[in-house]
Amino acid sequence: MKKTLNIFLLCTLIIQTVSAQSPEILSIRKQVLQNAGKIMTEYSEFLSLPNVAADPVNLQKNAAFIMKMMDQRGIKNVQLLNAGTANVPPAVYGEVIVPGATQTLIFYAHYDGQPVNPSQWAKGLEPFKPALFTNALQNGGSLISFPANGKFERDWRIYARGSSDDKAGVAAILNAYDALIKSGLKPGSNIKFFFEGEEEEGSTHLNEILDKHKSLLKSDLWIICDGPVHQSGKKQVVFGVRGDTHLDLTVYASKRPLHSGQYGNWAPNPAMMLARLLASMKDENGKVTIKGFYDDVIALSPAERKALLEVPSVDQQMKNELGISAVEIPGTSLSEAINLPSLNINGIQSGNVGKLATNQIPTTATAVIDLRLVLGNDWKRQQQKVIDHIKAQGYYVTDKDPIDEERKDHGKIIKIVPEEGYNAQRTTMDLPIVQKIIAAIKTTTTGQVVLQPTMGGSLPLYLFEKHLNAKTITIPVVNHDNNQHAENENLRIGNFFDGIETMGSLMLLK
């Protein structure tokens, strides 16, 4: 049995050596494959802990689980970093001080996940019951048990909330350190670990945590392990992120739901009002029509523009994969699109559809809109542009349920709840340490390393600049087709194992 396994490992090593560059990375790979069963069992246990903001008790259990993982790996000074405000999910901290090291790298990931609506997950899947499949569901994957021989295929997927975003980051980082030590290797820098618990809630208290623990968090570079690798499957170094903020919109009509026959065409319909309002925000070519929406944008530098040109085009691949033949702004590439501020509807709801539909005029209609920001945008100013647009459509704007007096005075009433947000951030490409990072990633692959001026997603990286005067660089590891932020979130095993190598290469960096 053991012999078979070793032969398998050998074959895998030979096949995979083609794309591997350094003997250190090969040692890490060997460790990972030998311990794959243990790694995956531990990961599955981690994914079984619910990690949504609405469930603070379980968030604490996640933090405790990470502390245990760190202790087991011999990481020192393990502790929870609390915010000044009470009842904020803590960050988990740990460190490894390396004698003679001249620099300090701090590895970031987050352990909290997006909300879940279990009814939207595929039949048999539950967000917090990790399930192993032979491939992605959309590729015909089927459910399997964890293999007794600890042999995991690269195309297998594990389904659970947080499997990709971003418990994969936590696990890739901690398993990279484990594999490195077990291979008899030594980190090239001092290493710190920082795992946040409030990222999907907008990192509202991260500023407090950073301020409060400033000296502990001193470093030469933050390495952010979050987001997916490039859609081409190539490894990726990301220099910036978009900012993000939201607005919750609720249009009010009749105080009580009405029979659509008795009052249809007379009483206002909030779903139709909201549809008209949302439609007024974009033209038929997908361009946002809100006044000044594309103002304030700081253009890419020549180096960033050059890098952007070298990003492989995946537009046709993604169209095929997603089953779409048109894009929102005709003629705009995905690379160009994520370098623009965006307005996107996350959700809309009024009355009921499907089997619950009734012949009614609903009382309210609600939408959540998501504003992504690029460098130069200010999140509060961007929200205000949307609010001003809504007012220009004749709406009376309030921040709570309208009272009778307001209902009497205004034909069109909307409640707008602006959520917290943060701005975009970009690290310049020409820093010496950034060049070392790129070189380290190159030791793990013979393929192109994609240099991405910004990713489409958001992280509150401006906070690290603002509160710690720190530089950040984002090194993603998970597959791009991971359904993160939605139902059926999943992680491809090959990406997980490659990600451990990627993180390992950075820990070796001197």
CB 24 within 8 A of CB 183: yes
353 in contact with a second copy (CB under 8 A): yes
Tell the smallest beta-carbon distance from residue 67 to a second copy (Å).
28
SS (H, E, C) 59-114: HHHHHHHHHHHHHHCCCEEEEEECCCCCCCCCEEEEEECCCCCCCEEEEEEECCEC
Residue with tokens 């494959």: 33
Q: How far is the CB of 258 from a second copy (least distance, A)?
A: 7
Helix axes 36-47, 167-182, angle to 10 degrees: 150
Positions 124 through 153 that interact with a second copy (CB under 8 A): 138
Select from 7, 11, 54, 438 the one that contacts a second copy (CB under 8 A). Answer: 54
What is the nearest approach in angstroms of a second copy to the Cβ of residue 151?
28
Degrees, nearest 5: CA angle 128-130-136: 120
Strand pairing class (240-252; 364-373): antiparallel
Compose the 209-238 pattern: x for residues touching a second copy by CB under 8 A, - for all others: ------------------xx----------
CB of 165 to a second copy, least distance (A): 8
> What backbone torsions phi and psi does residue 396 show, to the nearest 5 degrees?
-90, 125
CB of 316 to a second copy, least distance (A): 11
Q: Is 452 helix (H, G, I), strand (E, B) or coil?
A: strand
CB of 505 to a second copy, least distance (A): 24
Closest contact distance (angstroms) between CB of 237 and a second copy is: 16
Of the pair 175, 269, the CB lying nearest a second copy is at: 269
Cα angle 471-475-476, degrees, rounded to a multiple of 5: 140
Choice from 10, 298, 322, 439 touching a second copy (CB under 8 A):
322
Q: Would you say 28 or 247 has its CB closer to a second copy?
A: 247
Strand partners, 401: none
Please state, in angstroms and rounded to a whole number, the distance separating the CA atoms of residues 105 and 219. 6
Closest by alpha carbon to 42, among 74, 87, 72? 72
**CB environment 220-242: b (16+ within 10 A), e (fewer):** ebbbbbbbbbbbbbebbbbbbbb
Does position 247 bind a second copy by CB under 8 A? Answer: no
The H or E element containing residue 35 is none
Cβ distance to a second copy smaller for residue 3 or 355: 355
User: How near is the Cβ of 432 to a second copy at its closest, in Å?
Assistant: 29
Closest to 361 measured CA to CA, from 295, 492, 268, 230:
268
| Residue 261 binding a second copy, by CB under 8 A | yes
- Binders of a second copy among residues 402 to 441 (CB under 8 A) are 402, 404, 407-412
| Lookup: tokens for 119 | 């009814």
Using the rule CB under 8 A, is 248 a contact of a second copy? yes
**Could you give the CA distance from residue 260 to residue 247 in angstroms, rounded to a whole number?**
29
Q: Interface with a second copy by CB under 8 A: which range of 27-35, 82-90, 353-361, 497-505? A: 353-361
Q: Which of 9, 272 has the CB closer to a second copy?
A: 272
Quick check: 117 binds a second copy (CB under 8 A)? yes
Across-strand partners of 246?
370
Does residue 345 belong to the site contacting a second copy (CB under 8 A)?
yes
Site for a second copy in 384-403 (CB under 8 A): 402
- Interface positions, 171-210, toward a second copy (CB under 8 A): none
Site for a second copy in 272-301 (CB under 8 A): 272, 274-276, 278-280, 282, 284, 286
* Count of residues touching a second copy (by CB under 8 A): 104
Q: Closer to a second copy by CB, 190 or 484: give it.
A: 484
Query: What span, in angstroms and rounded, lies between the C-alpha atoms of 197 and 205?
Result: 10
Site for a second copy in 437-456 (CB under 8 A): 455-456
Site membership for a second copy, residue 308 (CB under 8 A) = no
Residues 6+ apart with CB under 8 A from 458: 241, 242, 243, 244, 372, 422, 424
480 lies in the binding site for a second copy (CB under 8 A): yes
In the complex with a second copy, the residue whose CB is nearer, 176 or 390, is 390
Q: Which is nearer to a second copy, 45 or 336 (CB)?
A: 336
